[in-house]
Structure 1
Amino acid sequence: MRVAIIGSGGIGRGYAAYLTTQGHQPVLWSPSGAAQADFAGDAQLAVTGKIETSLPLAVASGCAEAVAGADAVIVAVQANGFRAVMEAMAPHLVAGQSVIISAHCSFAALHLHRLLQHRGIDLPIACWATTALTARKSGPRSVHISGIRAKLDVATLPVRHAQAGLAACRALFGDRFEARDDVLAIMLSNLNPPAHVANMLGNLTRAERGEDWPNYGSITQGVGRIVDAMDVERLALAQAFGLSVRSVQDHYVHSFGVAPGPVGEMAAAVYKNRPELLGPKTLDTRFITEDVPFGLAPLEVLGEISGVALPLHKAGIALFDAICARDFRAENDLLPALGLGGLSAAELHGELRGD
């Protein structure tokens, strides 16, 4: 399959490497233009970690070129790039294509769906709860893939295209996907925001001073109790919308194969197996700049619409606003574009199903 990958960071490059090894033809488009400079001429992508190879990388000069003729389009940018990328893609997408958002957050699929509806285009938008692999850009022309996930949750907007969305995901990445009810279930299955916010609060000065600190090894019993308490709020929110999602304990068992228990104990077990995973060495990290505005703030909106109190989520936003001297709610550019405030819980859920 020809696959357009939107985004040339670690995840985008990792997908390009993985899909090439599976016999697909990926083409990368970097919204910033960085990939064109990095891979000018005959420069190849050096891949280390779970995949060891060097391979040529096709790079498009623009979004229209990348999307043209693609069977599938994978969005692999950080959340603060979703709106701009989707507004660049929407004029060029056509019926018969599939879109995959890796990983989905903050009603991004709804924004793209509305843009396509305006053009009369109906296609599956498959949304993942997280990325299919973990990878980092290790140099101008290299990527290190540290993990490939065995299981991944997916839902499709509109739900009538659920089978087509699931089929596209499996055709590209194999039989590792578990279908969820709808995109709202995917949004409420993202455990990164509470986990990252709690861990950054507990290790704030270590990150700010640029110290080395173990990511999972620093989720102490106290940090774990914050995660557990925020999870109670998230599960209550899911229940208000009639959805069943995994608890944070279920997530650790499902993702890492550790025994269930308090988050602090489960994180310690993960750390024993993955001691090399370090936390951020700066406050300018997606653990804050992505997970607060595009993770916590959308859940706050869902809480206001459904009448579910989320005091810890609200506190997390307020604390990081103060710590970073920023207004993180204002940094989410998707929420103003969607104008969800006038919707009831049932109306919003219906839109997120494509009813």
Structure 2
Amino acid sequence: MRVGIVGAGAIAFGAAAFLEQSGHSPILWSPSGERTKRLAAGEPLVATGAIEGSFRPGVAHTAEELVSGADVVLIALPGYGHKHAFDAIAPHIRADQAVIISSHASFGALYLSRLLAARGIIVPIIAWGTTATTGRQPSLVEASVNTVRSKIDLCTVPESRSSEGLALCRRLFGDRFVERDGLLAIALSNLNPQNHMGIALCNMTRMEHGETWGQGFNVTPNVGRLLEALDRERLAIAEALGLSVRTIFEHFHLSFHVPRDTVSNMNQQMHAEGRGGTGPATADSRYVTEDVPYGLLMTVKLGELTGRDAKLHRSGVEIFSAMYGRDFFAENELLDALAMDQMTLADLKSLSREGYRPHGQPA
């Protein structure tokens, strides 16, 4: 299949390498145009680690070119770029296409559904709870792939297209998907924001000094207990919604292939096996700039709607706002565009199942 990938960072590069290795034809589009210049000039994409090889993904220069040449569109860039990406691709999406969001953030699937409904279009919008690969981007022609996840949670909006969405993802990425009970479950299935909060908060000076440091190694017992406490807040919200979501222990076991243990011990095992990864070498990291406004804040909002106050998540937004001299409570463009503060829980539940409908047309 021809897969148009919006993004050109580590996750987009990892997805492109995986797809080409599996016999598909990935096409990359960098919204800024800067991150694909060397690939467009003919240099190969070199992947190392969990995926090895030299690849030659296509390069699109505009959103229209990307979408028109694709069977399916994959969103693979940080959450703070999702609204811009949706605004760019929505005018060009066809009724015979599908969109995969890797990974889903802040009910972006609903925003895209609304844009398409305004054009009278419904397509399967597939929300992943996490990414297919993890890793770093040593250069603009390299992907260092740390792991390929064995399990990925997903759902499809509208849910009437669920079987179609699941079959598509399996065709592209193999039998590694677990269908969850709607978009609310997926919203609570992405553990990166809570985990990155604890890791960044407890290692901020390393990030600011630009050090090279082992991420798994520095999930010490105290940091691990913080991550476990954050996880209990997320699970309490899921319980209030009657949803089953993956625990932090299942996350590390399934994503990084280590035996179940305490969070700290699992990370120490990853480090001992050389798979613990390196932490951010800058404070300008998506661990904060993406995950605080687009991850932690969303969990805070769901806690408010369900009466399960996410005190640690809220504290994280407050603390990082103070540290960075920014108001991260005001930086989520998707939640603002959806006017989530004006939604009732019943409104959100209905939209999360059906999405937005073109006038007079059932979802």
CA distance in 2, matches of 1:300, 1:276: 29
Alignment of 1:176-215 (within 5 A): 176-215=176-215
Letter in 1 for 2:201: L
Alignment of 1:234-253 (within 5 A): 234-253=234-253
* Secondary structure of the corresponding residue to residue 280 of structure 2: coil
Where does structure 1 lack aligned partners over 5 or more consecutive residues?
Answer: none
Where does structure 2 lack aligned partners over 5 or more consecutive residues?
Answer: 356-363
CA distance in 2, matches of 1:276, 1:303: 31
Give the structure 2 partner of residue 28 of structure 1. 28
Letter in 2 for 1:183: L
CA distance in 2, matches of 1:195, 1:10: 19
CA distance in 2, matches of 1:300, 1:122: 30
CA distance in 2, matches of 1:276, 1:153: 22
Instruction: Give the direction of change, closer, same or farther, for the CA distance of 1:202–1:57 in structure 2 (3 Å limit).
Output: same
Give the structure 1 partner of residue 227 of structure 2. 227
Instruction: Give the direction of change, closer, same or farther, for the CA distance of 1:259–1:150 in structure 2 (3 Å limit).
Output: closer
Instruction: Give the direction of change, closer, same or farther, for the CA distance of 1:24–1:256 in structure 2 (3 Å limit).
Output: closer
CA distance in 1, matches of 2:232, 2:52: 41
Deviation at 1:271, TM superposition (A): 2.2
Give the structure 1 partner of residue 286 of structure 2. 286
Deviation at 1:145, TM superposition (A): 2.2
Instruction: Give the direction of change, closer, same or farther, for the CA distance of 1:304–1:141 in structure 2 (3 Å limit).
Output: same
What is the TM-score normalised by the length of structure 2?
0.93
Give the structure 2 partner of residue 7 of structure 1. 7
CA distance in 2, matches of 1:43, 1:227: 41
Give the structure 2 partner of residue 58 of structure 1. 58
Deviation at 1:342, TM superposition (A): 2.1
CA distance in 2, matches of 1:56, 1:204: 37
Kept in 2, the 8 Å contact 1:72–1:168? The answer is no
Deviation at 1:260, TM superposition (A): 3.1
CA distance in 2, matches of 1:272, 1:39: 35
Letter in 1 for 2:323: I
What is the TM-score normalised by the length of structure 1?
0.95
Instruction: Give the direction of change, closer, same or farther, for the CA distance of 1:191–1:87 in structure 2 (3 Å limit).
Output: same
Give the structure 2 partner of residue 40 of structure 1. 40
CA distance in 2, matches of 1:157, 1:318: 32
Per-residue CA shift, 1:48-80, capped at 9, x if unaligned?
A: 333333233311121011101421100011111
CA distance in 2, matches of 1:100, 1:158: 13
User: How many residues are treated as equivalent by the alignment?
Assistant: 355
* Secondary structure of the corresponding residue to residue 40 of structure 2: coil
Deviation at 1:284, TM superposition (A): 1.1
Kept in 1, the 8 Å contact 2:146–2:277? The answer is no
Kept in 1, the 8 Å contact 2:207–2:280? The answer is yes
Give the structure 1 partner of residue 345 of structure 2. 345
Deviation at 1:223, TM superposition (A): 1.1
Give the structure 2 partner of residue 145 of structure 1. 145
Give the structure 2 partner of residue 120 of structure 1. 120
Comparing 20-29 and 233-242, the one that deviates more: 20-29
Give the structure 2 partner of residue 102 of structure 1. 102
* Secondary structure of the corresponding residue to residue 135 of structure 1: strand
CA distance in 2, matches of 1:140, 1:21: 19
CA distance in 2, matches of 1:234, 1:81: 24
Kept in 2, the 8 Å contact 1:134–1:145? The answer is yes
Letter in 1 for 2:136: R
Deviation at 1:263, TM superposition (A): 2.0
> Matched residues, percent identical?
45
Kept in 2, the 8 Å contact 1:305–1:343? The answer is no
* Secondary structure of the corresponding residue to residue 217 of structure 1: coil
CA RMSD of aligned residues (A): 1.6
CA distance in 1, matches of 2:190, 2:319: 21
CA distance in 2, matches of 1:146, 1:261: 21
CA distance in 2, matches of 1:275, 1:54: 22
CA distance in 1, matches of 2:246, 2:51: 30
